[in-house]
Amino acid sequence: MTVSDRTYFTLRRLHSLSGVVPVGVFLLEHFFTNSFAVQGPDAFNRAAEHLAEIPYVVLIEVFGIGLPILFHMVLGLVIVTTGQANAAKYRYQNNWMYLLQRVSGLFLVAYILYHVWTTRLSPEVMRGETDLFGMMSDDLRSPGLFAFYVLGVIAASYHFGNGLFGFAIHWGLATGRRAQRNVARLGLAVFLVLSLVGINSLLAFVHRPVRLFERAPETKVVEHPPLPAPAPPGGTR
């Protein structure tokens, strides 16, 4: 299947826009919420409960998260199947960046479907009978599932970080070579930071997080009542 260059360029612009807003914004929020796992099961479950209590949360999940992700996924598949030697046409990115963006996107299709089903749409979760922290902890104790989730975190982090580079190019925000280098560095930094944060959250579910940026617990000073003054020599009169 082939499309005209103008149609392809329009598809790429829409795809990059949806990948930043709202999908990218949701990714940042999701990683932030998962980071509460570092503070233990109670903190994570409270954070999840607070999200569930947001007014119109179902509408937000469907129209603000679910449909945009589905749109981004479907449009990405369309772009992949209409790739007409585009690596030769769009020289703004290196071949390995171009390839990894597509590979990570294809992997994320399977990863997101599995993750959404097990953490949001499974019958137990829909009935509210599942301890989310405990469920994730049980799943991630499997070495295979833990590796799958690590790959999912890395793929999502790279896809978003490198996607910022494509977004800046397609929307004319980085036209010069220097600007493009700076955006590429920003994308790399975003990829590395999100990967570290995401993997540390996974480690927290199996009770092995790295505590680098948390404040040390405050030590409570126990105040003792003052001792009575010693009696004067010879006793009192």
Report helix, strand or coil for 174. coil
Domain 5-205: give its CATH code: 1.20.1300.10
pLDDT class for 133, splitting at 50, 70, 90? very high
pLDDT number for residue 237: 47
What average pLDDT is seen over the chain?
Answer: 85
Stretch 164-183: mean pLDDT: 91
Stretch 134-154: mean pLDDT: 95
Decide if pLDDT at 88 tops 80: no
Domain limits, the chain: 5-205
Alpha carbons 185 and 230: distance in angstroms, whole number: 71
pLDDT number for residue 3: 67
pLDDT class for 87, splitting at 50, 70, 90? very low
Could you read off the pLDDT of 39-77 as tens digits, one per residue? 999 999 999 999 989 999 999 999 999 999 999 999 998
| Sequence-distant (≥ 6) Cβ neighbours of residue 74 within 8 angstroms | none
Alpha carbons 79 and 24: distance in angstroms, whole number: 19
- DSSP annotation string for 141-154: TSHHHHHHHHHHHH
* CA 151 vs CA 1, 135, 166, 213: distances in Å: 30, 19, 22, 24
Contact assessment for residue 180 and residue 174, using Cβ atoms and an 8 Å cutoff = yes
Decide if pLDDT at 217 tops 70: no
Contact assessment for residue 156 and residue 27, using Cβ atoms and an 8 Å cutoff = yes
| Sequence-distant (≥ 6) Cβ neighbours of residue 194 within 8 angstroms | 27, 28, 31, 153, 156, 157, 160, 161
pLDDT number for residue 228: 65
Does the bond joining 22 to the residue before it have cis omega, within 30 degrees of 0? yes
| Cα torsion angle, 17, 20, 25, 26, sign | positive
| Sequence-distant (≥ 6) Cβ neighbours of residue 206 within 8 angstroms | 137, 140, 141, 146
pLDDT number for residue 199: 97
Alpha carbons 136 and 191: distance in angstroms, whole number: 23
Residues belonging to the chain: 237
CA distance between the termini of the chain: 111
Alpha carbons 192 and 75: distance in angstroms, whole number: 26
Unique residue bearing structure tokens 């997080």 = 209
Decide if pLDDT at 84 tops 60: no
